[in-house]
Chains A and B, each alone.
Chain A
Amino acid sequence: MKRVFWSLWAVIFAAGLVGVVQRLLTGHQLAAYGSYVPWGLWVAVYIYFVGLSAGAFLISTVIYVFGVKRLEPVGRLALFTALMTLLMALLSIWFDIGHMSRFWRVYTRGAWTSMMAWMVWLYTAYFLLLLAETWFAIRGDLARNAAVPGAAGRLARLLSFGRGDLSETALAADRRKVRLLAMLGVPLATAFHGGVGALFGVIGARLYWHASIYPLLFLASALSSGSALLTFLAAFWGPGRGTREHRDLVTLLATVTLGLLVVDVLFEFAEFSISLYATIPAAVQGFLIVLFGPYWWVFWIVHLGLGIVAPAVILLARRHQPQWAGVGAFLIAATFISVRLNIIVPGLAYPEVQGLERAYLGPRLSFQYFPSLMEWQVSAFVASLGVALFALGLRFLPIVTAREREA
């Protein structure tokens, strides 16, 4: 099973690498987006992973800020997941910009009027905070592992930066720092992911995006997809698998996920119903593309069927069995990319000025969009790199410690 998985991974990663090389050599020429649909798969992948990150992080604050002890065993897993998905998100959006070498200008000449600049500043702060918090959360175990022979020990010695103090006072100081950082992280993650929603919401020219529910919807969907991802990871790689504690933990996570899914569906219903009931056709266009456009199945089958109904049934009926709970949660987390694609593309897939689609023709001047092979490859690279880093972290870092695995 493991061998099959990693063989498949190697194939996907290699294909992804080819795409990345093509992207670096030929720029945006092999991408399918154009001047009228200027954003595509990579932006969708970006908000997908960034949502997973914000969601996983906010779940971790339930443990570290609000002291919900029952979830404590997955605290570090949640932090590490948030860190890895954030890295994947940033990598994806980096490939998307026209001049990759100029990204740092958002720091040197950023505009406070731009939601995009705010988003970059906030996620930079969030990234640093996440790094620090994860480090304080695992420092004690790193110090303990420093004595272990082999690669894990060497890595632990390197990453503990010589801070080997294992006294109760030192560990308590670590816990206090984690709590403090988590407390700072709540408003930061809220601002940062709400800000991603606002990035679209503020665009008055696009009625499909211009909804004040967007920042809130983004938070709800981040929580729902992030907790689903964490439930999936905890079910299959979490601490103490096979024990009653593990089962209870996964059941609790699955129940939380189910509740958050309901909230997310409620927000989404509010957004869709209000817009669809608007009697101005221009306000409805984007939603009609989602529901009945050429990619109708992305909404009806992938999102509604596989992302809401199927996992809801599984989680309602089988959430007490960790593996079923994991499968249900996986469905929510994995199919969430369909929600992200349905935010980006339909908002851009119709002309703002009637007749523009026929005014001047060219392959980049089309309102139809389906990602090109190179775009899929680059996204596959981002995803497979994330999976590998995550697996390496799980193997060599005290995310789920050996003690917990055996427990």
Chain B
Amino acid sequence: MSEEQQRATSTRRAFLEKAASAIFAGMVLGGRPLRVQAGSAPSAPTASSVAVPMPKAPFRISPQAREDVLLRMQRDLERALRKPLRERRWAMVIDTRKCVGCSACTIACVLENKLPPGVVYRPVIDTEVGTYPNVTRKFLPRPCMQCDNPPCVPVCPVRATWKREDGIVAIDYEACIGCRYCITACPYQARTFDFGEYWTDGAARGPDGGLALQSGRAYQAEPGFEYGREWDRADGASPVGNVRKCQFCLHRIERGLLPMCVTTCIGRATFFGDSNDPESLVSELASSPDVTRLKEDMGTEPKVYYLL
């Protein structure tokens, strides 16, 4: 092997290592870095949350030819986080032509946000199109649209939900009284209610429980990290009795991690980034002529774009 070849191999290997660690950091670490922030209250409607100091490694990756789009989005994210909150505008693009309906995003979201039964942030709507023999299926993941004109916000009687400066529609679980008025107001049905249930409710205990149930129970007892703080659902504490919804994994993005549905998408069909940044991948994709938004005619101005 010539010296030149050797150098090329080593650069490629170095790149692959970096890339893998970036991807795995996103997938595996989950909300862990958030423990640092535990205890801090979610930002009030008016207060803008301060940009959190970014972890140094492993995100400094220079662009490479034919790289995974996750790497570009990672750089987009990092760039956005260097700006003040009000200059960011988080947006998501979902390429329905690439979506295979595997529901990995749905499940990853359930795990990341510790969603109990009855609560779902990102279902994938699976519809059959056509008549036999010309039949096909189409898939439509439906996160919260983070509307610029969110119909769910003004109806809240206690101002427990609001549009943040970075475009995310947030909920303050400590303020929400659980009246569920916002659920009725959302035209996308993106809000669900936490009934305080557990996946293992009614399952066997003791020796009959088995390892799976034991670890399942242990997992459910772990706190969630939405909005950058720990949430322990035991004894009916919030978010039990509250309305919950997708917040683009705010707790992850503010720590430099892409939303869980983005990193786990096996077809790389979900894109995330700052739509205020003309260089970002989402800005590029959202200006394609194939783009549409759900119920566009309603004027809710969703920040989730679909490529058809």
Contacts and interface: CB of A to CB of B under 8 A. Distances in A.
A205 B125 contact: no
Contact of A364 (B106, B155, B178, B193): B193
Interface in B170-205: 175-181, 183-189, 191-197
A204 B151 contact: yes
B142 A359 contact: yes
B188 to A, nearest CB: 6
A202 interface: yes
A224 to B, nearest CB: 26
B119 to A, nearest CB: 7
B177 A109 contact: no
A359 B125 contact: yes
Interface stretch (B19-27, B67-75, B233-241): B233-241
B187 A352 contact: yes
A348 B142 contact: no
Interface in B70-128: 106, 117-120, 123-127
A153 interface: no
B212 interface: no
Interface stretch (A58-66, A113-121, A325-333, A380-388): A113-121
Contact of B154 (A27, A106, A114, A356): A114
Contact of A111 (B140, B154, B176, B192): B154
A358 B298 CA distance: 24
Contacts of B183: 35, 38
Contacts of A34: 118, 193, 195
A203 B155 contact: yes
Interface residues of B, number: 48
A109 B46 CA distance: 14
- Interface SS majority for chain B: loop
Contact of B181 (A102, A116, A353): A116
Contacts of B106: 360
Contacts of A348: 184
B117 A98 contact: no
A346 B157 CA distance: 23
A97 B125 CA distance: 30
B7 interface: no
Contacts of B180: 38-39, 98
A114 B156 contact: yes
B123 A110 contact: no
B158 interface: yes
A117 B177 contact: no
A27 B236 contact: yes
B263 interface: no
Contacts of A199: 181
A354 interface: yes
A103 interface: yes
B145 to A, nearest CB: 10
A177 interface: no
Nearest to B294: A353
B159 interface: yes
Name the residue among B126, B151, B158, B197 with the largest chain A CB count within 10 angstroms.
B158
B179 A98 contact: yes
A167 to B, nearest CB: 46
Given A353-B125, A358-B126, A28 B177 contact: no
A205 B186 contact: yes
B242 interface: yes
Contact of B177 (A27, A36, A39, A98): A98
A355 interface: yes
Given A356-B125, A356-B142, A205 B157 contact: no
Contacts of B124: 359-360
Contacts of B142: 353, 356, 359
B177 A356 contact: no
Given A39-B180, A98-B178, A355 B157 contact: no
B158 A109 contact: yes
Nearest to A111: B159
Contacts of B177: 97-99, 102-103, 105-106
B151 A205 contact: yes
A29 B196 contact: yes
Given A98-B243, A114-B155, A204-B187, 14 more contacts: A29-B196, A96-B179, A98-B178, A98-B241, A99-B177, A105-B175, A111-B154, A116-B157, A117-B158, A202-B155, A204-B298, A353-B189, A355-B140, A360-B120
9 contacts: A29-B195, A29-B197, A102-B175, A111-B154, A120-B157, A204-B185, A205-B186, A351-B189, A353-B294
Interface of A: 26-29, 31, 34-36, 38-39, 96-99, 102-103, 105-106, 109-111, 113-117, 120, 199, 202-206, 347-348, 351-356, 358-360, 362-365
